Structure 1
Amino acid sequence: MPNLRTEELDISFIETGAQHGQPVLLLHGWPDDATTWDAVADRLNKRNLRLVIPYLRGAGPTTFRDEGVPRTANGAILAMDAIALMDGLGIERFSVVGHDWGSHIAECLTIGWPERVERIAQLSSTPRMGGLQTPPFRQSQLYWYQWFMATKRGAQAIAKDRKGFARIQWENWAPDGWFDEATFGGVAKSFENPDWLPVTLHSYRVRWEEAEPDPRSAWLEEKVKETKSLDLPAIFIHGRADGVTPAEMSENVHEKFTGPFERILLQNVGHFPQREDPESVARELAIFLEG
């Protein structure tokens, strides 16, 4: 697996597709890793697309170079990781596809470096531009794991069984039987990264102001809050059976985009469309990215 050294990280990534094709950055979410795109990438490999698929900080083989660097993971600092990767690969213009955490990283990239992002595709997690609002009680109930992570005892419990904590999200967020033991077991190895827990905790605590964002990324965090809409071509892919971000939450996503936009709903699909229905996701991405 290729590895690129940035100022802060050794980023491991998968690169596949056409070597001189149109660059596409695919970003995974939580609790997941870069292999989430395997089946989609297999179906896009014959297209004129150069696919770059990194493991985010704290996941799998991506590691911090310095023990003293804070294990922060707000969206803006993760976007800065992604730009450092693309800079290191010499890629100036690209499209970005993001699922879950990756969805927010994608919009941060688009807001921070609009001249570099051609198209944006977001899966499952709705845009946060304009600021993240406290959800209504029913949605807060689905976000129980986020509130759990904000507590000292919650963090201690997860430290004792990080794979068990991740697994219950997989079970809750999509229809029964959508994954097998081998698939989860393979991905769960990425959670053995020593930085997975602090990175995970910071990501969820910072979004509800229980932690501060990485100060180096404050400029971009503010820019995301100030931005009301984006005008580049965009699509939003959502499973109708999403168990953590119900499909009705994306009904008004079109209001965040003033350029060409399409919302795509997938039947009998939960929170992981790229794993649950890679055929449909690959088809829609091919049409969008080559459009």
Structure 2
Amino acid sequence: MQASLRHARTAKLDIAYSDSGPPAGQPVLLLHGWPDSARAWASVAARLNAAGFRTIVPDLRGFGATRFVRDDIMRDGTGVALAHDAADLAAAIGLEHFDVVGHDWGARAAYTLAALFPERVRRISALALAFQPHGAFILPTNFEQARRFWYQWFMTLDDGPAAVRRDPKGFARIQWETWSPPGWYDDDEFEATARAFDNPDWAEVTLNGYRTRWCADTLSDPDYDRSRITLRTIDVIDVPTLMIQGGADQCDEPELSQGQEKHFSAGYRRLVLDGVGHFPPREAPEQVARALIEHLR
């Protein structure tokens, strides 16, 4: 991605982001996942820019060069917090209406943005994650899927957080090694991406994002309580949606995103990429970009 890094100040964050493509082009927020960084969108963003779209690609809270503006702000890693960050960034750079494309954590933020701010979001695309009605996390009854979520259970153990803080890059690398078919990345790319995990808040945001799902004693930022209450009432998205699923995803079973049309009143298309794992923007950027251009136009 050729655009230089910019910064936008919000009430809680100094958000680092890149802004590339035609300045007057249709604006698209590209939100990366976990454990990943804004680098994930480089190839896709270049293709969108060539097609006339303006792409805004932030480092999520806890990643890269994005920083909290005060020490007393809770390091909330939930989808509601991420969605508010994206909406705040858009407001800070003067975007009243925009499209959102999100992968993994970014996909959750995209669904949440569409649920909470449908008047601002034109279209969304979610990669690798199915929509969760009412924002609810349901314990997998499928033991195979529960096994795939070992990393989430690990973070709920008494000594799990200390282990993640001690070796964040080692923890992240295991997910890269096991969530997709082998051979999709090299050591240099992982190391370049993993520099985003040097952020001093990466471990705390990560731990909060997962522990809040399963541990009743893990707190979330109370500033977002009203949005969480609203989200619990929503099981239908009123924004046109494209869901892109890797057919060989070893983190989230492809079947989890099947049959969700009833939750999308403005249209829902699901595209399955055969042989692609959990990281479609990196593994199949040309296919992803082609599908996005068709959807966003």
The TM-score normalised by the length of structure 2 is 0.95
Comparing 206-215 with 278-287, greater Cα deviation is found at 206-215
Please name the residue that 1:3 is paired with.
7
Please name the residue that 2:245 is paired with.
238
Q: CA offsets, 1:184-218, max 9 Å, x none?
A: 00010000111000000000011224423211111
For residues 231 and 81 of structure 1, the distance between their equivalents in structure 2, rounded to whole angstroms, comes to 21
Q: RMSD over aligned Cα, in angstroms?
A: 1.1
Please name the residue that 1:282 is paired with.
289
Q: For residues 120-135 of structure 1, what are the structure 2 equivalents within 5 Å?
A: 120-130=124-134, 131-135=136-140
Residue in structure 2 matching 1:182, options 185, 188, 210: 188
Contact 1:74/1:214 (CA < 8 Å) preserved in 2?
no
5+ residue gaps in structure 2? none
Deviation of the 1:228 alpha carbon: 1.1
For residues 50 and 207 of structure 1, the distance between their equivalents in structure 2, rounded to whole angstroms, comes to 34
Please name the residue that 1:31 is paired with.
35
Count of residue pairs brought into register by the alignment = 290
After superposing on structure 2, the runs of 4+ consecutive aligned residues of structure 1 that deviate more than 3 Å are: none
Residue in structure 2 matching 1:152, options 151, 158, 172: 158
Matched, 1:12 2:16: yes
Contact 1:108/1:220 (CA < 8 Å) preserved in 2?
no
Matched, 1:110 2:114: yes
Comparing 167-176 with 215-224, greater Cα deviation is found at 215-224
Residue in structure 2 matching 1:265, options 264, 272, 277: 272
Q: CA offsets, 1:221-271, max 9 Å, x none?
A: 122221111122111000000001011111122232122221000011000
Contact 1:18/1:47 (CA < 8 Å) preserved in 2?
no
Contact 1:59/1:196 (CA < 8 Å) preserved in 2?
yes
Comparing 87-96 with 40-49, greater Cα deviation is found at 40-49
Q: For residues 188-267 of structure 1, what are the structure 2 equivalents within 5 Å?
A: 188-210=194-216, 211-267=218-274
* Local SS of the residue matching 1:280: helix
The TM-score normalised by the length of structure 1 is 0.97
Aligned partner letter, 2:44: V
Deviation of the 1:44 alpha carbon: 1.3
Comparing 122-131 with 266-275, greater Cα deviation is found at 122-131
Aligned partner letter, 2:26: Q
Contact 2:115/2:238 (CA < 8 Å) preserved in 1?
no
Contact 2:247/2:275 (CA < 8 Å) preserved in 1?
yes
For residues 141 and 221 of structure 1, the distance between their equivalents in structure 2, rounded to whole angstroms, comes to 28
Please name the residue that 1:75 is paired with.
79
5+ residue gaps in structure 1? none
Residue in structure 1 matching 2:170, options 149, 164, 172: 164
Comparing 67-76 with 190-199, greater Cα deviation is found at 67-76
Contact 2:118/2:238 (CA < 8 Å) preserved in 1?
no
